Structure 1
Amino acid sequence: MKLSSRQLIIILILLGIATDGYHCKVVQFIFGDSLSDVGNNRYLTRSLANANLPWYGIDFGNGMPNGRFTNGRTVADIIGDKMGLPRPPAFLDPSLTEDVILENGVNYASGGGGILNETGGYFIQRFSLYKQIDLFRGTQDLIKSKIDNEAAEKFFQEARYVVALGSNDFINNYLTGVYSDSWKYNDATFIDYLMETLEDQLKMLHGMGARQLMVFGLAPMGCIPLQRVLSTSGGCQEKTNKLAVSFNAAASKLLDKMSSTLANASYTFGDNYDVVNDVITNPSKFGFENSDSPCCSFGRIRPALTCIPASILCKDRSKYVFWDEYHPSDAANELVANELIKKLGFLQVDPTNSPSPAPASEPTPDPEG
């Protein structure tokens, strides 16, 4: 039987599908805490760590709360945008499907979550890193049922991974005096405990295909507005900052070791401590006017632990390093993201995806209406 040119083309296309399987798109899988949460906690109805309130999200999209614990974008949002990667939706987003995962990846980050399961227990509901990895395992099962195992393996190995936790393990665990970790460990042994746990978690992710992974370091967490206002002097809590420096040194060493011992692993440590410390110490050098108090606050009543509808907003959100008592502003997140991109030499994965612009600060709404 003689085949027409049209029939030959169809057969070749079908053969290509049979041999190549699903065409993988490079996406991100993000594991983290409130600095990376894009909406998971808004679906955890009993969680006390929640950003589903005005004025969160005021400089993002339609200006309505979207689950991000800031006025605009997260550092992971901005880095992903500039690398040409799609923004992964929250795991608990009701619109999440296998097709959405294949196109955009998933964000498992949860406000209040930590490397340790016990961290942030008083928030009632939050995803620890172990829980987030367990959810990722379920995601893999979904994708394997959608496409064949070989294509799924390729998809997960080509993806990019971000792990950004640790500050809650100190601020909402070790330093509180509430949890047993506070008296069970000293500074050095607690960091050893964190590193042993993180190593186990990263090995689990490697076993599930994570090959290109970045762990974000800790910023000077003793200088967040909450830590300052709780100090007697109003200055940074140096003990807390020293813990961040020690954590970063240990995590960097761990990532170097894992990159050299795990097969095909490219594990990077993103240390932003110095640049954030510089911004906090010399805000005017970077175009900021305030680096010690939150843009969104409850007047003189501090600390108001979250930004609420009755809060008063600063006049120019782009001039504040901190959005609320815990979290940086969009402007600060953009600066940190750009410094990490420069320091680590990130290349665009898909140059056709243009980065989103930084949101412009709109006139501050009157909380009284």
Structure 2
Amino acid sequence: MKFTFAATLLALSVLGIATGGCQCKVVQFIFGDSLSDVGNNDYLSKGLAKANLPWYGIDFGNGMPNGRFCNGRTVADIIGDKMGLPRPPAFLDPSLTEDMIMQNGVNYASGGGGILNETGTYFIQRFSLYKQIELFQGTKELIREKIGDNETEKFFQQSLYVVALGSNDFINNYLMPVYSDSYTYNDDSFVTYLTETLRAQLTLLHSLGVRQLMAFGLGPMGCIPLQRVLSTSGGCQDRTNKLALSFNQATSKMLEDVSSKLPNASFRFGDAYDVVNDLISNPVKHGFNNSDSPCCSWGKIRPALTCIPLSKLCKDRSKYVFWDEYHPTESANELIANELIRKMGLSPTNLSPSAAPFAAPSPQG
């Protein structure tokens, strides 16, 4: 499912450049898909995956669409807020400047994007992870021109990052027969292909200065409303969930291996599969009353795929796990974010260059 969060978070940013170097605070750099997108796709003129119509954003700011595929905040927003971090603007935001980057970071996440370049091609335009990394490399060069080589390397090596993609590679690629990957691979070999591609991408990020990174796993994507409505029983699709679990297991092991082999790398895995699965299986336990259908829909016309002005909204958005056919509500995102914060041992940053909120927590004795 799209609980691959994204989403996507955390780098150090320059507040000011003094003679002795930079004064830094912790901000966010996000790589992700629609769970973390804050408007990049809105600026892709030919892109089909957009959240630029009501009722998206109804519970965020002024209630107008803002590029988030949700009624409110994303998981990345919530984790950042709880850690005292500024929210990074979309990379394609026309007002973005070098100073904004150094003070707020950047969000490269793109709805429909995947780890694989071929994922989501029917959306026409979207940023794959390789493209997001290319944009990040360009960002680094912009900062280099502004503050010089030494400060730039220091800035990016002190940075904290999150990578949150993967569900589209299954839902909008491998599990669709229109894609060649669906008949080129079997379940096991596709998970291997996906994980090894991600390994290469993380290694590339390391070569660009990334040292501390969180990569988030997938939730039970076979239980999103779209998967349910496309099943014969209306229940979760077991094969899809098993693929998510296989990806999580392979990615967790790969991150341990990469982190042990790359110099000064601290790459960690964020897994919320169990809590999301429990939320869907036992919604009342978590304060919800609906976990199988979208809050924003066309009533009995399913799947609606996207939320539009003609859609009907549920009476209480805080009681629904899903906002549309793909994405969780802000209420569900908050529960997911809290679980990731707990599992990762994250705490509010002290805004110090030496802060390492992604470092492994000390053993409790």
- Give your verdict on TM over 0.5: yes
The aligned amino acid for 1:108 is Y
Which residue of 2 is the match for residue 92 of structure 1?
Answer: 92
The aligned amino acid for 1:349 is T
**What aligned pairs does 1:108-187 form with structure 2 within 5 A after superposition?**
108-187=108-187
Which residue of 2 is the match for residue 30 of structure 1?
Answer: 30
Work out whether residues 115 and 128 of structure 2, in 8 Å CA contact, stay in contact via their aligned partners in 1. yes
**What aligned pairs does 1:290-301 form with structure 2 within 5 A after superposition?**
290-301=290-301
Matched, 1:194 2:204: no
Q: Secondary structure at the match of 2:334?
A: helix
The aligned amino acid for 1:84 is G
Work out whether residues 25 and 351 of structure 2, in 8 Å CA contact, stay in contact via their aligned partners in 1. no
The aligned amino acid for 1:78 is I
Partners of 2:116 and 2:302 lie apart in 1 by 29
Partners of 1:111 and 1:44 lie apart in 2 by 11
Partners of 2:58 and 2:251 lie apart in 1 by 34
Partners of 2:97 and 2:125 lie apart in 1 by 24
User: Looking at CA atoms only, which structure, 1 or 2, has the larger radius of gyration?
Assistant: 1
Partners of 2:19 and 2:62 lie apart in 1 by 44
Give the drift of 1:22. 2.5
Deviations 1:281-303 (A, max 9, x none): 00000000000000000011010
Q: Secondary structure at the match of 2:25?
A: coil
The aligned amino acid for 2:74 is T
Which residue of 1 is the match for residue 47 of structure 2?
Answer: 47
Q: Secondary structure at the match of 1:309?
A: coil
Which residue of 2 is the match for residue 328 of structure 1?
Answer: 328
Partners of 1:90 and 1:338 lie apart in 2 by 24
Q: Secondary structure at the match of 1:27?
A: strand
The aligned amino acid for 2:211 is R
Any stretches of 5+ residues in structure 1 without a counterpart? Answer: 1-16, 353-369
Q: Secondary structure at the match of 1:268?
A: strand
Deviations 1:145-198 (A, max 9, x none): 110211111111222111000000000000001111010000011011111110
Matched, 1:105 2:99: no
Higher strand residue share: 2
Which residue of 2 is the match for residue 302 of structure 1?
Answer: 302
**What aligned pairs does 1:133-282 form with structure 2 within 5 A after superposition?**
133-282=133-282
Partners of 2:341 and 2:130 lie apart in 1 by 28
Deviations 1:205-264 (A, max 9, x none): 111111111001000000000000000100000000000000000000011111111111
Where does structure 1 differ by over 4 angstroms across 4 or more consecutive aligned residues?
A: none
Work out whether residues 156 and 209 of structure 1, in 8 Å CA contact, stay in contact via their aligned partners in 2. yes
**How many residue pairs are counted as aligned between the two chains?**
337
Partners of 1:25 and 1:151 lie apart in 2 by 14
Which residue of 1 is the match for residue 9 of structure 2?
Answer: none
Work out whether residues 26 and 155 of structure 1, in 8 Å CA contact, stay in contact via their aligned partners in 2. no
The aligned amino acid for 1:118 is E
User: After the TM superposition, which of the residue ranges 17-26 and 237-246 deviates more from structure 2?
Assistant: 17-26
Work out whether residues 25 and 102 of structure 1, in 8 Å CA contact, stay in contact via their aligned partners in 2. no
Partners of 1:131 and 1:232 lie apart in 2 by 37
Give the drift of 1:18. 6.6
Partners of 2:107 and 2:43 lie apart in 1 by 13
Q: Report the TM-score when normalising by structure 1.
A: 0.90
Partners of 1:62 and 1:150 lie apart in 2 by 41
Any stretches of 5+ residues in structure 2 without a counterpart? Answer: 1-16, 353-365
Q: Report the TM-score when normalising by structure 2.
A: 0.91
The aligned amino acid for 2:66 is N
Work out whether residues 37 and 110 of structure 1, in 8 Å CA contact, stay in contact via their aligned partners in 2. yes
Work out whether residues 220 and 244 of structure 1, in 8 Å CA contact, stay in contact via their aligned partners in 2. yes
Q: Secondary structure at the match of 1:142?
A: helix
Partners of 1:32 and 1:113 lie apart in 2 by 7
Query: What RMSD over aligned residues (CA atoms) do the two structures have, in Å?
Result: 1.4
Q: Secondary structure at the match of 2:93?
A: coil
Partners of 2:83 and 2:212 lie apart in 1 by 14
The aligned amino acid for 2:117 is N
Deviations 1:324-356 (A, max 9, x none): 00000000000000011011100211479xxxx
The aligned amino acid for 2:190 is F
